[in-house]
Chain A
Amino acid sequence: MILQGIAFYVFAALLVASGVMVISARNPVHSVLYLILAFFQAAGLCLLMGAEFVAMILVIVYVGAVAVLFLFVVMMLDINFRELRQGALEVLPLGGLIGLILLSELAAVVGGWIVAPGVEKLAAAPTPAISTVTNTHALGQLMYTQYVYLFQACGIVLLIAMIGAIVLTLRHRAGVRKQDVGAQIARHRDSVVAIRKVSSGEGV
């Protein structure tokens, strides 16, 4: 039990520390690396709670895919953050005001939170007892029965977002030499090679 306590405090402290480093690091690439460290600590906390599936998915999705793209983009951009930060003090009042408004909105939302009537029963017995089924089974049984419509709706939202991103960035440029495997395979010897007898001294 004491080991778990130590592990929790180590993970939590490192999580907060790397979170602070994400926004305070000078170099943007270092920021992304600290972000990855923060994801790992969060995964560790999930493991401590016994949510092994969530922990692994967190690492696969966020560290293995999202953060790679972040790193990719940040490395390519080569921004000088010191220049960007120069005018920061002038817009600080406006930024602070927006931050305050957002904070009060958040407080209003959380303060006015009403729990739906059926939820308490669900939370009391969410799945078959966690000792009898694995994490993954428990999640699946809940997600594909009770919440199947919400799950499908999430899928549709993601699909639309994906199509939107493709539509926004897709450009058909002229003059791009693209490989067309079908055309290459369909090429026949007769249409591309001509054999001629060339008599000497005359040329083709």
Chain B
Amino acid sequence: MAEFFNGFLLPLIIIVLKILAITVPLLVAVAFMTYAERKIMAGMQLRQGPMLVGPFGLLQPFADGLKLFAKEQILPEGANRVVFYIAPMITFFLALVAWAVIPFDYGVVLSNINVGVLYLFAISSLGVYGIVMAGWASNSRYAFLGALRSAAQMVSYEVSMGLIIITVLLCVGSLNLTDIVRAQEKIWFAIPLFPMFIMFFISALAETNRSPFDLPEGESELVAGFMVEYSSAPFALFFLGEYANMILMSAMTSILFLGGWLSPLPFAPFTWIPGVVWLALKISACLFTFVWVRATMPRYRYDQLMRLGWKVFLPFSLFWVVLTAGVLVTFGWLPK
């Protein structure tokens, strides 16, 4: 019995506690992300934003959440019941499960696997299924159009995203996320690979269906795109999943290009602050830019979106892969 407890049950309990330690702060962050978005956009548009529920409207996200879960669930006529309910679950589940490999500080990571980047890339490329299944199962024209747009868009931007990740991997020589951060101790990759950093951020916008690439939702032409038929809890799951994905993409940008948990300058006052705080600050900066872009840019037209993905990003990132490889080989900087 003692062997069973020490060898199996105890590790299980520890892992569950670790998962909770990641998931609960993440969900709180998602809640406040919705609040922050409304407040930042309000500030940019000379409005007040939410201000009535709690001090400065801080409890607004929780009020919204309660409201959403209290609403009626509606299953559209002719909808495919199982797929209709599985779709939001997949979106939410994928947004959470990716956090297993994100290193928050040196050694502070749930699962330090050797193929961490590939895992993240795989999970982010699965995000399209939640949307496509939702659009198909809703049995609605608007939802279907949104799903088709989303499928084409996410597949297009994944290609350039993969090439951008390859440039980073060339400089690191490992697929492990902890190694990637440690390779940036001398200089953050955002500086030598600056164009890739910008392109990765734009691809992240497209991958999370955020403005100016929010065509799958496109509320001015498709009402709400793939989630037009959803209400109540399933809608809330989509909503949470979308924001969790934004935070995930920001974390990926921070780890690949902004040095993860590393402090900006490697000496005293900066190194006193723990790495988790630095990572959180970097993620917040990326998230602010997400919102900033949404408040600034008009939506892309569909053909422009495809042109940007295939005719600009793909050739340029391919060129940069070759250039990086060439420079590394010529100067003998290839990592061991």
Contact of A29 among B115, B136, B148 (CB under 8 A): B136
A-chain residues with CB within 8 Å of residue B288 when the two chains form the complex? none
Cα–Cα, bound, A68→B136 (Å): 13
Is B215 in the interface zone, CB < 8 Å from A?
no
Which residue, B129, B147, B152, B304, has most C-beta atoms of chain A within 10 A? B129
Q: Which residues from A are CB-within-8-Å of B126?
A: 59, 63-64
Q: What are 13 A-B pairs at a CB distance below 8 A?
A: A33-B83, A36-B129, A53-B118, A56-B115, A59-B125, A64-B125, A64-B128, A68-B132, A72-B152, A75-B132, A136-B115, A179-B303, A179-B307
Scoring B residues 111 to 134 as 1 if CB is less than 8 Å from chain A, else 0, what string do you get? Answer: 001110011011001101100110
- B residues within 8 A CB of A179? 303-304, 307
Question: What's the least CB distance linking A83 to chain B, in Å?
Answer: 20
Docked CA distance A72–B162 (Å): 21
- Inside 8 A of B246's CB, which chain A residues have their CB? none
Asked if A77 is an interface residue, CB under 8 A from chain B, the answer is no
Q: Which of chain A's residues have a CB closer than 8 A to the CB of B136?
A: 29, 71, 75
Binding site for A on B (CB under 8 A): 80, 83, 113-115, 118-119, 121-122, 125-126, 128-129, 132-133, 136, 144, 147-148, 151-152, 154-155, 158, 162, 174-176, 303-304, 307
Q: Assess whether B303 is in contact with A64, with CB atoms less than 8 Å apart.
A: no
- With beta carbons under 8 angstroms apart, the residue of B125, B154, B174, B175 that contacts A60 is B125
The reply to whether A64 and B151 form a contact with Cβ atoms under 8 Å apart is no
Q: What residues of A have a CB within 8 angstroms of the CB of B119 in the complex?
A: 56
Bound-state Cα–Cα, A36 to B122, Å:
13
- The answer, among A29, A68, A76, for a CB contact under 8 Å with B155, is A68
Partner of B133, one of A33, A64, A134, A181: A33
| Cβ B121 vs Cβ A65 within 8 A | no
Q: Which residues of B contact A68 (CB under 8 A)?
A: 128-129, 132, 151, 154-155
Interface residues on A, range: 20 to 34
| A71-B132, A179-B307 known; A52-B115 Cβ under 8 A | yes
A96 to B83, CA, bound (A): 35
A160 at the B interface (CB under 8 A): no
Q: Is the CB of B158 within 8 A of A65?
A: yes
Q: How far is the CA of A67 from the CA of B160 in the complex (A)?
A: 19
Neighbouring B residues of A13 by C-beta, 8 Å: none
Q: In the complex, which of the residues A30, A71, A135 contacts B115, with contact meaning CB atoms closer than 8 Å? A: A135
Nearest opposing residue in chain B for A53, CB measure: B115
* In the complex, chain A residues whose CB is within 8 Å of the CB of B151: 68, 71-72
Q: How far is the CA of A29 from the CA of B148 in the complex (A)?
A: 14
Name which residue of chain A comes closest to B121, CB basis: A60
